[in-house]
Structure 1
Amino acid sequence: MMRPTPSPTRPGQESVWDYPRPPRVESVDRRVTIELGGVRIVDTRDVVRVLETSHPPVYYLPVEEFVPGSVQRAGGSSFCEFKGAARYFDLAGGGVLAERAGWDYPSPMPGFESLVGRVAVYADRMDRCTVDGELVVPQPGRYYGGWITSEVAGPFKGGPGSMGW
Structure 2
Amino acid sequence: MSERQVLQPTAEHPITVTPTDGRVVVRIGGTVVAETDAALSLRESTYPVVQYVPFAAVDQTVLRRSDTTTYCPFKGEANYFDVTVAGTTVEDAIWTYEQPYEAVGAIAGHVAFYAEKADVAVGPSS
Find the counterpart in structure 2 of residue 99 from structure 1.
Answer: 91
Matched residues in 1 for 2:45 and 2:29: separation?
33
Amino acid at match of 1:123: A
Find the counterpart in structure 1 of residue 103 from structure 2.
Answer: 111
Matched residues in 1 for 2:89 and 2:104: separation?
29
How much does 1:92 deviate? Answer: 2.1
How much does 1:20 deviate? Answer: 6.4
The structure with the largest strand share of the pair is: 2
Find the counterpart in structure 1 of residue 6 from structure 2.
Answer: none
Q: Secondary structure at the match of 1:78?
A: strand
How much does 1:34 deviate? Answer: 1.3
Amino acid at match of 1:92: T
1:86 aligns with 2:78: yes
1:25 aligns with 2:4: no
Question: Highest Rg: 1 or 2?
Answer: 1
Encode CA deviations 1:19-74: one digit per residue, 9 max, x unaligned.
96241111122211111233111111111111112111011001111113122211
Alpha carbons of 1:41 and 1:20: their partners in 2 closer, same or farther (altered >3 Å)?
Answer: farther
**From 49, 54, 60, the counterpart of 2:41:** 49
Q: Secondary structure at the match of 1:85?
A: strand
**From 111, 123, 126, the counterpart of 1:132:** 123
- Count the aligned residue pairs: 114
Matched residues in 1 for 2:58 and 2:38: separation?
11
Q: Which aligned segments of 4 or more residues in structure 1 are displaced greater than 6 angstroms?
A: none
Alpha carbons of 1:20 and 1:34: their partners in 2 closer, same or farther (altered >3 Å)?
Answer: farther
Matched residues in 2 for 1:46 and 1:70: separation?
20
Amino acid at match of 1:88: Y
Whether the aligned pair in 2 keeps the contact of 1:35 and 1:93 (CA below 8 Å) is: no
RMSD over equivalenced CA pairs, Å: 1.8
Matched residues in 1 for 2:12 and 2:54: separation?
24
Matched residues in 2 for 1:92 and 1:41: separation?
10
